[in-house]
Structures are given as C-alpha cells and as structure tokens.
Chain A
Amino acid sequence: MLAIDYALAGLGLGAVAALSGVGLLVTYRATGVFNVAHGATAMIAAYLFWQLADEWSVPIWLAAVLVLFVFAPAFGVLLERVVFRPLQRRFATPAEGLVATIGILVLLVGIAFAVWGQQTRHPSSLFPARVLHPGSLTLHVDAFSDLAAVVLGTGALGLALRLTPLGTQIRAVVDRRDLAELSGVDADRVAAIGWAIGSVFAALTGVLLASQLALDPFNLTLVVLETFAIPVIAGLTNIPIAIAAGIALGVGMSEMTLYAPSDAQVMNIWNALHANAPIVVLLLALLLRNRLPQSGGDAGLASTFARRRAAEPSIPRMALQYGLAAILVFAPLTFDPVSLQRAQEVPALGIIFVSIVAVTGYSGQISLGQAGYAGLGALFFARFSSGTPQLAALLAGVVAAGLVGFLTGYPAIRRRGLFLALTTFAVGTFVSRFVFEQPYFTSGVTVSRLSLFGLSLRGDRAFYLFELAMLAITFLIMYNLRSGALGRALVAIRDSEDGARSVGVDVRALKVLIFTVSAMLAGLGGALLAQQRLSFTSTDFDPLAASLPWFTVVVVFGADSAVAAIAGAAFVVLINSVAGNASAYLIVVGLVAAFIGYLPGGIAEAGRRLVEWVLTPTTLLRRYAEASRPPPQPTLSAEGRAALARVRAARKAGSTP
C-alpha cells in the first residue's frame, strides 16, 4: 500500500478523534466546565446503541436517532440541571466542577459495569464497512462517512455559533455569566444547550468508535479520555485547529505502520508508541504548553477538600478515638482465613489512599495518576525480590515510584487545577501503557510475600501485622507533614500560592517534595497490594479502573484526613466483597462525588460535625447560649463619641430654645 492509502485509512479514526475533541471544546466554551466525563458519556451511548441495534434488533437508523437525538441531549440537560446548575448557583470553584465530572465518570463506568458486565461487545457499524477501489486507491466508505458526519456536525455547529444570537449568548455566558444575565441572557438555558450539544458530540463519538474498537466499560472511555490532547493542542479555544489536530493524529497513527522499523527490539518500542500515540501526544501537549488559560485559583481547592479546624485537645475524646481505632485495626486478626485475606487489602489500599491525602488534601495538588506510582512500587518489588534481600526490593519499589513522582513534581510547579489534573493523569496512563502493559517488563514476574530477617511473613496474620507496621510508618510521616512549620507551609501553598511566595515559602521545592513523598507512599502501598494478591496484574493499576476511582473515594471520604482514607479503603474492600465486583462501589462514590458540593470536606467533615454534636451535649448548650445572647453594641472611637456628644448637645439645645 502507498502512503496515501494509509492516510486515507487513518482518516476515519482521525475524524472521530476530532469529533471527540470538538465536543469537549464546545462543552468547555459553552459551560466553562472541562467535562472529564465526556468519554464515559460516549461509552454509555455506545452501549445503548448496541443494546437497541444489536440486542433488540431496532433498525440502525432508528437506534442512532434515539441515542444521538433523544438520549444524548436529554442526558446533557439532566447533568446541567441536577449537577452543574446548583454548582454554578453556589459560585462553586472550578475544582468542585472537576471533582463532579470525575464523579460522573466513575458513576457511569460503574453503571455500565453493573448493567452490561465486563465482557467485550461488538456493536454494528453506523455506516456500511465497504471498500471501494477508484483507480489505484483504497477507499474505506465508513471512514469517509465518519469524516462527512464530523465535517457536517462541526460545520453546522460552527455556523450556528457564528451566525445565530445563541452563539453570541454562549460566548457572553462563558466570559461573564453575571453580566450576561444582567443583559437579559437566560444563562441557564444557554448552559443547558451547551451541555446538550456536548453530549450529542460525545454520543456520536461513542457510536462511531465502538464499531471500530471493541466496547467494554473501561476501554472506550479511556480512548476518549486520551483525545484530551486535541482540545489542549487547540488551546481550549480554536475549533478548526482541534479538527486539524484530530485528523493529523489519526493519519499520523496510520502512517506509523508504514515506517515500522525492521529491528525486533526497536520494533517493540515502535509498536508501543503506535498503539499509544494519543497518550504520548497528550503528555507532550501538556508539557509543552505551559501557558494555558488557568482554571481556578488555589483557594478553591481549600474550600473543596479541606474544612478542618484546629481542634481543642480533649483527653477523653482522644482515648475513645485511639481505643476504637486499635480495636478496629486488630480485629481482623481474629477473622476466619478468607475474611482475613480480604482484610489484608485494607492497609495496602489504605496506604495508597493516604498518599492521595498527602498530595491533594494537605497541599492542594490534584493527582489523578496515583495508580501509576503504586504499580511501579509493585512491579519493582516483584522484579527485585527474587535476587536481592526482600526489604531492599521493597525499598527499590518505593524509590522507583518516588523517582517518577519527583519527575511529575516539576511540571506541577507551574500548573494548577485542571491542567495539573490532566498532566498527572497522563503520567499515570503513560506509565501504565509503556511499563505495566509491556511484556518486556512484566512477563515472568512472580510475587511472593517477603520474609524479614529470616522471619517469614507468608502466614496471613504475620503479613497483616507487617502491613500494620507499614501503615504506622505512613501515619508517622503524615503526622510530620501535617504539623509544625512544614505542615503550615504546605497548607499555605494549598490556600494561596501567591501568599506563600510572598513570605518566602519555597513553593517549587515543596511541590516537588510532596509529589515525591506521595509517590513513595503510593509505591509502598502498591508493593503491599501485589503481595497481598500474590500477583502483579496491569489492570490492578489501571488509570481508569484504579487511579480515578481511588481519587474519588479519597475526596468523598474527606481529602484532608488520613483516617478517613483508611475508612475509605475499608469501605471499598467491604462493599466489593459483598457485591462481588467493583461496580457497586463505583456507583456509590461516583454518585456522592457528583454532588460533593453538598458535602464540603467529604464524609470526614460530616463525621466531625456529627461527633461534635452528639458526643458533647455541652456544644449544644453553648450554641444555644451564644444564639440567645444579645448582639454586641458597636463601639465608637474617641472622635465618634465626641461627635455623637456634639450632635446630642445640639439637639438638646435645639429642642429647648
């Protein structure tokens, strides 16, 4: 085949990538929200299409109309009405919006998992998959149909935005919602239309992609997530550039097949690059563009994730807390073997969750790539544990994860909010694709539990105790990160980077440091998790099946509380063993995260309030007394009192002439 044939073959995928990118961009332009759940919307739409067309034998055109023009807009409007309008009304920060979209993604993945299961489906193609041969060329009819659909869709949208009053209104609402409303624009209606359009684009992306790839809850969602590269390249503004970038990506990937190298070793790398080109492009685009429109300040993160106040130390309360914690922590030692093995997952997963608390809760940096570090810890431990002392192997895993965390810390210096979130996600996905999924690194890896100074930890109780020891070390580090000058400096960065800089807090060093420490903790947790499962599986450390849900759990349970993170881990393990698969917990935490605006500070904060009210009746009495006390009288300055006296004197003089 010729280069031109490859280019033509790549057009189809490129067109769909462009479509996805434009959909993201339009939602962002019309609503100010970067919809991380775009891929999950596409996936759900593809499932519905498959259900209608392939299971219930509805004619394809009717299935397409139902999914694209009935379900998708209705879903978009529902999201706007139920999730994003209340956020907008409360002047919520972009960080809350980001968490809500991640929550919706996790929720949709959980629903798809629960309804359709994990097996792969192969939906029919929207357009006939025929091949024509005009002259010496090879033309894929479906690729061209995709391209035509994309050009028509985006062209119509572009014209509508330019020529109709709606387009002007959308731009007005995005720039200054308050001013737009003052000049009579119905901002809610505009936002609802924006969500509906974005949803239709997502659904079309899903339906077109599902016939080219296979359909399962995770894969399609992730493929669409990788097209985030396109709006990033387009600077989140320029639709023509987004289309060009999408098509270039598709054609470029197709052309790569033509230039495959002959050397076997290089060939492996080339194939990995070829298969994962979008994630490489996303990572490069994020790293090269350091002047993107910043979304959201830092104070927003503080109010979303952290509501912790300085608590008054109370000895009975501390005794109660530590006593309860000790009982809960040691209880699994009395469990039957099966339950104990399940309980072993809690400290391992808990340490990973705590690592998210360190980076997101304590210092306000969103990290969506935590599973990448955890997996590195697991993999390095597994590879080194046969040849070297096992404690050294564990250390190797921790250091390897820390090294990648250190490298992630550098781009984090200049990035905040959404772009930091995307960058960390891209790093996690990159590690997953280029390390965990490469046989070069993972084939023949076996995991066994370590033995310590000749003392075997193969027994379930011994291993659990070892995990508790590691958890104790983790908590010690967390305590140090929370207290004293170091803790204050980290919170200062979370609350206001500019404020922290103004008094000499070394923001660069602290950000790199917190990413490194967090990655090391995640690596430790990952190594323990692999030992608990006695295997290394790439899906255990998948960006979509692990990183995003883990982040969501931590935010839902309270991102600034290490104890809440452990409770979150216990919750996940418990609900998974009751439900038998992961769908239940995904649905629960996804749902709560979508509405996290109603639960600021997460479950931890709600729990603190509950404890405050229930355990100390005096609080109630004090509050009642405070509420019934008369408000303090305003105090006047010396001049004020003098002036008042003069006025009174004058009035007296005037009234009695």
Chain B
Amino acid sequence: MTGSRLTAIGITKRFGGLVAVDDVSVTAEPGTVTALIGPNGAGKTTLFQCLTGSERPDAGQVLLDERDVTRVSPDGRARLGIGRTFQRLAVFPSMTVADNLGVGAENRTNAPAVLRVGALLLGILGFPVVDVKRHQRRVDEVIELLHLDDVRDAPAGALPTGTLRLVELGRALCHDPTVLLLDEPASGLDTEETKNLQLVLRQVAADGVAVLLVEHDVDLVFGVADTVYAMAEGRLLASGKPDEIRTHPAVREAYLDVEAAG
C-alpha cells in the first residue's frame, strides 16, 4: 500500500436497507489516472462522495498519504490537498471566471484553524494576509492551460455547461491538489472539448497528481485511464489496466455491452 496517494479500504455505505457501496477498496497513485466505471446505480457516485467527504461511510477508511481522513469534513479534506469537481455544477455564478479560479487558489492552506480565523479577522480590519498576486499567477497559468482566455472576465452564470465544467476543473487545479477527483467531467462536453479534456488530464497526471474520475464516456475512460475499476450493484467487479477491463467477461456483461447497445 505504500506510495498510494489516496486509498479507500473496505468502504461500505447503506441508505436505509439499501447497500449502495459494499466493501469496496480503491487506490489512486500519484502521476496516474484512475477511472471508476459502472452502470447507473452501481454505487460509483456514493463511493465518490465518501472520498470527497460529502458522505460518511458506515464502514471502512479513507487514507490520504497514509493519514486517516475518514472523519475529516469536505473543506478540511480540500485544505489537505483533495480537489474535486461536481456532476451537478457548483460554480459561483455571480463571479467572473477569473474570480472563480481565484477562490480555488486562495484557500489552499495548511494553517491550523486558529491562524485561519486570525487571518480572517485581520482581513476584516483591512490587513489581508492572502498573497493575491501570487495566486493570480497560478490563475493565469490555469486559464491558459484550459483555453479560458476568452471568458476570463465573463460572469460564470452566463456561460454554457461545457465551459463551466472547465471552470470547475480550473478552480480545482488552481487549488494545487495532490489528488483530483472528477465526477463525470465529460458530461455536457462535445467531442472536441472531450479531446481537450483528455489532454489536460494527462498533463495534470504528468505533474504528479493522482487523478480519479467517475465517468460514463467509455472512450474517454479507455483513452486516458491507467487503471480502471468497474463496479456493479455496489460491489467491485474487476480492476486492472484498460485493456484487461475492456475484455473482462463480467464487465462486458454488466456494463459495456449494455452501454454499446444503448
């Protein structure tokens, strides 16, 4: 297990009588792209929520660099280096794209709570602690990487879904995450945008980030992932390299053929 950036061990989550995720373990390694696939209701999203902290698992552990973060809140995990995007967009509609990304950059800190509250108080009194200029450089880099120059100063609320997915990705990247969790990043993107996304994800992984995505777009998954986990009915069906999963009989039966027929 050593060397894994993010590890989930034996995650189980129940909703009433329904076992949404049943004893599933996954890992995400730095410098690689890991994908989580499965038909609707397979428990991918629930597992994802357990990783981000939006849900708390009934059993199992989430480790970040071998530190147990199972009980850490979503914003606490974010400050520890987990970046994420949302399936249902959660951008800041009244802010410009640049400010959306700025919020991503400005709140990455390892400072303990006392210092953070202290910084807030100083901010109210007019002594901002955050080095806005330094973060602005990071924002500029990411805007260039994602080709968002044209919409830089546009309010996010007025932009189309495809662009907003990139804005969310950019916000997460500005956060300088060591783990990047993406919830269906390609939904709402056209072919061209998906292709671009694929390149961006490879580049992010090449910088040493552990990327984990939940995705329906099979082409994207098999084009970009180093490791694929296939889930069905709350359980882990198979895991391995994309080619192994593509030809795995159980996965074909549970998911890929259905997907091809649909």
Which residues of A approach B to under 8 Å, CB–CB?
A: 299, 302-303, 306-310, 476-477, 479-481, 484-486, 488-489, 491-492, 494-496, 498-510, 513, 517, 637, 640
Contacts and interface: CB of A to CB of B under 8 A. Distances in A.
Given A484-B128, A503-B107, A504-B108, A495 B75 contact: no
Contacts of A501: 73-75, 78
Nearest to B90: A499
Nearest to B130: A485
Contact of B94 (A485, A491, A504, A637): A491
Given A501-B75, A503-B104, A504-B78, A488 B95 contact: yes
A489 B119 CA distance: 13
A509 B113 CA distance: 9
A481 B113 contact: no
Contacts of B123: 480, 484-486
Interface stretch (B36-44, B79-87, B197-205): B79-87
Interface in B122-178: 123-126, 128, 130, 132, 135, 153, 155, 157, 168, 171-172, 174-175
A503 B130 contact: no
Interface in B44-76: 52, 54, 73-75
A492 B95 contact: yes
A517 B121 CA distance: 10
Q: Report the 9 A-B pairs with minimum CB-CB distance, sorted nearest first.
A: A499-B90, A504-B78, A495-B92, A485-B130, A486-B123, A504-B79, A485-B106, A501-B75, A504-B107
A509 B106 contact: no
Given A476-B126, A491-B95, A517-B124, A503 B172 contact: yes
B93 A509 contact: no
Nearest to B79: A504
B112 to A, nearest CB: 11
A509 B107 contact: no
B79 A480 contact: no
A443 B110 CA distance: 51
Contacts of B124: 477, 480-481, 486, 513, 517
Contacts of A503: 78, 83, 103-104, 107-108, 171-172, 174-175
Contacts of A507: 75
B224 interface: no
Contact of B172 (A485, A498, A502, A517): A502
Nearest to A306: B94
Contact of A485 (B86, B96, B132, B174): B132
B106 A637 contact: no
Contact of A489 (B106, B132, B153): B106
B29 interface: no
Contacts of A477: 124-125
B91 A499 contact: yes
Contacts of B86: 498-499, 502
Nearest to A517: B124
Contacts of A498: 54, 74, 86, 90
B14 interface: no
Contact of A496 (B75, B92, B135): B92
Nearest to B155: A309
B120 A510 contact: yes
A480 B126 contact: yes
Given A310-B153, A499-B90, A505-B75, 4 more contacts: A303-B157, A306-B94, A491-B94, A496-B93
A553 B259 CA distance: 55
| Listed residue (A308, A479, A498, A510) with the most chain B CB atoms within 10 angstroms of its CB | A498
A488 B91 contact: no
B241 interface: no
A489 B126 contact: no
Contacts of B192: 637, 640
A308 B157 CA distance: 12
B103 A492 contact: yes
B93 A504 contact: no
Nearest to B52: A502
A31 to B, nearest CB: 26
Contacts of A481: 124
A35 B106 CA distance: 40
A509 B103 contact: no
A301 to B, nearest CB: 10
B116 interface: yes
A309 B97 CA distance: 12
Given A310-B153, A485-B106, A485-B123, A502 B90 contact: yes
A237 B128 CA distance: 47
Given A477-B124, A495-B94, A513-B120, A484 B75 contact: no
Nearest to B107: A504
Contacts of B175: 503-504
30 contacts: A299-B93, A302-B94, A303-B93, A306-B94, A308-B94, A309-B155, A480-B124, A485-B103, A485-B107, A485-B123, A486-B128, A486-B130, A488-B103, A488-B106, A492-B95, A492-B103, A498-B54, A498-B74, A498-B86, A499-B90, A499-B91, A499-B171, A501-B73, A502-B52, A503-B103, A503-B171, A505-B103, A506-B75, A509-B120, A640-B192
A640 B190 CA distance: 13
A561 to B, nearest CB: 13
B22 interface: no
Contacts of A505: 75, 103, 107
A485 B95 contact: no
A420 to B, nearest CB: 19
B4 interface: no
A109 B155 CA distance: 39
Nearest to B116: A506
Contacts of A502: 52, 74-75, 78, 83-86, 90, 171-172
B234 interface: no
A74 to B, nearest CB: 39
| Listed residue (A485, A503, A508, A510) with the most chain B CB atoms within 10 angstroms of its CB | A503
B102 interface: yes
Given A485-B123, A489-B106, A495 B79 contact: no
Nearest to B168: A499
A513 B113 CA distance: 13
Nearest to A494: B94
Nearest to A502: B84
B19 interface: no
Contacts of A640: 192
B99 interface: yes
Interface string B173-211: 011000000000000000010000000000000000000
A299 B88 CA distance: 13
A485 B103 CA distance: 7
B203 to A, nearest CB: 19
A598 to B, nearest CB: 19
A595 B155 CA distance: 26
B100 to A, nearest CB: 8
Interface string B9-35: 000000000000000000000000000
B117 interface: yes
Contacts of B120: 486, 506, 509-510, 513
Nearest to B117: A509
| Listed residue (B75, B99, B117, B130) with the most chain A CB atoms within 10 angstroms of its CB | B75
A502 B80 CA distance: 11
Nearest to A512: B117
A96 to B, nearest CB: 15
A489 B107 contact: yes
Contacts of A491: 92, 94-95, 99
A510 B172 CA distance: 20
A306 B94 CA distance: 8
A571 B21 CA distance: 58
A479 B128 CA distance: 12
A92 to B, nearest CB: 15
